[in-house]
Amino acid sequence: MMVAMTLGSTPSQADMLKGTGFVGDRVGADSIWALLHRQGHRLFPDELFADLFTSTGRRSVPPQIVATVMVLQRAFGLSDREAVSAFEFDARWKYACGGLDFDYPGFAHTVLVDMRARLARSDRPKRIFEVTLDAARTAGMVSTKRVLDSTPLYDAVATQDTVTMIRSAIRRLLAAAGAGLQSELRAQLRRDDDYSAAGKPQCDWDDAEARTLLVDALATDAFSCLAVLEGRGLGVEVGEAAELLAAVVGQDLEQGDDGRFKIARRVAKDRIISTVDPQARHGHKTSVRGFDGYKGHIAIDPDSEIITSTTVTAGNAADGAVAEDLITDLTNNDNDDGDDGSGLKVFGDSAYGTGEFQHHLEEHGIDSGCRTQPPSAPKGRFAKDRFIVDLNADTVTCPNDVTATIRRSNDGSGTAYFGEACTQCPLRESCTNAAGGRSIRVGIYEASLAAARARQQDPNWAADYRATRPKVERKIGHLMRRRHGGRRARTRGLKRVDADFTLLAAAANLARLAVLGMTTTPIGWANA
């Protein structure tokens, strides 16, 4: 429960003798320090956060100061304690907060924790990022082009093995249960373990039989606990703990012919990798490079390199799955240039070149700069692009000039079967080794994929792609340059990691706006 607080007020004028205004001569005019000093009261006025506070209670630390500290904290990859210490002793931080006096008091690091919690509960949890983007838009720094990409965010906890996860999930359920329910659950436990201490259970790990007995005993305790809860109305915390326990034992265990539970020799889809952070997943950025945690996705304006959208997903999510969410400002025509759709273009690597996303761009009149992978076939055989697919006639013609009709299914996809024509075909060895002959599948977005592959053969398209797409990789490099709070997530849970990543993007935008010389005029933000 949050403490009732009223809105604090940032000092409007510093003492000339004790103020930190002298810092302005020592930091660059195009630095984030200078921008926040000049424009902080317009970017993050106390009133912007008024809805987070009550009309009665003790006075809060002025929100403008807290928001500025939060931005600088993310810009420099500091912990809460380090950020508060920097504010208290580094003159640049007080200068950025409006040129506060040297002796302006510091505050507890928990103020930052409280502000994040208040923002998370509000109707506008990402308002700090939104403010930076709105300022860039008003100043004319956001065009109608976007470049998309993602980057791994390593989890803040260690990946657990199956034995540790099952035991931890049981401990979590016992901790969440009230005294009465906990007694019922403990009465069903058969292992000589009170599940009070964290970590791996005691076992002779060199003894295969001992390991087998341990897994079976843990599984028996887990299923016994779940049996107690079956059909009962559970509170939120107990319900979540029970779901986690059921998921852990369900994904990693199977019952052998002897009736014992054992670790399954398979990897479950969407497998939980830690009970400490159940939303983290094992992901692959490339076929040989794996990671544990989340993915941070961004869209940038390639001209100004302003980040226009962010989101975070589990590490195993496909990049294309969130592509539409990253460009809603274009698809909603929420821009200042070309409401008729002219000049809109989206760039992305082959992860974004799916038929579904290419079709989405076509529907909204957006030019595609997303690369689509060419079709492939095993062992160098004829790929799909060696066949002539005529969607108007619903036919496919093979390299031997044999034509087959596409048989459509209910969802609109279809398959062309060449069957017996392959039996005596002189090109069979180069085409297929399937006993039933070659078949060609046609997806529901086949026309969009074909158009994309034809489009990217244009040298001008390829030159534009090569010149534009790398800009998002450079921006990701800026975001990830600090391991703590950059590549390594500072928090746990999808919602918190997403909020933290968005705040990092806000800090990057402010640093970029400072370099671009954003200023104000009597009618609003402007590009100097």
- Give residue-wise pLDDT tens across range 257-302: 888 888 888 878 889 999 999 999 998 877 778 899 999 999 999 9
111 backbone dihedrals φ, ψ, rounded to 5°: -60, -40
Which position has the token pair 């489009």?
455
> What is d(CA 283, CA 349) in angstroms, rounded to the nearest whole number?
18
Name the least confident of 25-34, 57-66, 189-198, 491-500.
189-198
3-state helix, strand and coil shares in percent for the chain, rounded to the nearest 5 = 45, 15, 40
Residues 473-486, mean pLDDT to the nearest whole number: 86
Cβ of 54: how many Cβ atoms within 10 Å?
A: 12
Among 140, 156, 119, smallest CA distance to 502 is for 119
Lowest pLDDT segment from 329-333, 351-355, 445-449:
329-333
Provide the mean pLDDT of the chain.
91
CA dist 117 and 509 (Å) reads: 23
Q: Give the DSSP H/E element, type plus range, for residue 80.
A: helix 80-89
> Residue 310: which pLDDT band, with cuts at 50, 70 and 90?
very high
Output 287 or 203, whichever has higher pLDDT: 203
Using one digit for the tens of pLDDT, what is the confidence trace for 6-19?
Answer: 998 888 766 665 67
Range scoring the smallest mean pLDDT among 33-37, 116-120, 251-255? 251-255
pTM: 0.90
Q: Report CA-CA distances (Å) from 112 to 59, 73, 258, 452, 457.
A: 15, 10, 55, 47, 51
- Residue 338 pLDDT: 42
Calpha distance 394→454 (Å, rounded): 19
190 close to 177: Cβ distance less than 8 angstroms? no
Average pLDDT value for residue range 459-477? 96
Q: Where are the domains of the chain?
A: 1-125, 129-157+286-372+456-528, 162-263, 378-445
**Contact by Cβ (8 Å): 295, 313:** yes
pLDDT digits (tens, 9 = 90+) for 213-252: 999 999 999 999 999 999 888 889 999 999 999 999 999 8
For 124-141, the pLDDT digits (tens) are: 999 999 999 999 999 999
Instruction: Determine contact, residues 248/264, Cβ cutoff 8 Å.
Output: no
- Give percent of the chain with pLDDT exceeding 70: 96
**Class of residue 332 by CB neighbours under 10 A (exposed 0-12, middle 13-18, buried 19+):** exposed
Using an 8 Å Cβ cutoff, are 307 and 300 in contact?
yes
- pLDDT for 93 beyond 50: yes
Phi-psi region of 64 (alpha: psi -120 to 50; beta: other; left: phi over 0): alpha
Distance CA 226, CA 142 (A): 53
Q: What CATH homologous superfamily does 129-157+286-372+456-528 map to?
A: Ribonuclease H-like superfamily/Ribonuclease H (3.30.420.10)
Q: What is the pLDDT of residues 51-75, one digit of tens each?
A: 999 988 899 999 999 999 999 999 9
512 vs 413: CA distance, rounded Å: 46
What does the pLDDT average to over 413-430?
A: 93
Report the pLDDT value the prediction gives residue 337, as an integer from 0 to 100: 47
The backbone torsions φ and ψ at residue 381, rounded to the nearest 5 degrees and listed phi first, read -75, 175
Query: What pLDDT shows up at residue 24?
Result: 84
pLDDT value, residue 284: 84
Give dist(CA 251, CA 282) in Å, integer: 14
Residue 335's pLDDT band (cuts 50, 70, 90)? very low
What is the C-alpha separation between 301 and 141, in angstroms, rounded?
9
* DSSP letter for each residue of 356-374: HHHHHHHHTTPEEEE--PP
Strand, helix or coil for residue 121:
helix
Q: pLDDT band for 483, please (50, 70, 90 cuts).
A: low
Q: Are 34 and 77 in contact (CB under 8 A)?
A: no
String of DSSP letters for 487-498: TB-SS-SHHHHH
The predicted structure's pLDDT at residue 347: 97
CA-nearest of 252, 309, 331, 258 to 498 is 309
CA diameter of the chain: 96
Band of pLDDT at residue 20, cut at 50, 70 and 90: confident
| Residue 175 in this model has a pLDDT that exceeds 80 | yes
- When pLDDT is averaged across residues 454-472 and rounded to a whole number, the result is 95
Angle made by CA atoms 44, 46, 47, in degrees to the nearest 5:
100
Helix (H) or strand (E) holding 83: helix 80-89
More confident residue, 252 or 474: 474
Q: Flag whether pLDDT at 173 surpasses 90.
A: yes
Model confidence at 370: pLDDT above 70: yes
pLDDT recorded at residue 15: 64
Helices (H), 369-490: 428-431, 446-455, 459-468, 470-479
Q: Give the pLDDT confidence score for residue 81 in this predicted structure.
A: 95
93 vs 334 pLDDT, higher one = 93
Q: Are 62 and 44 in contact (CB under 8 A)?
A: no
Cβ–Cβ under 8 Å, residues 396 and 390: yes
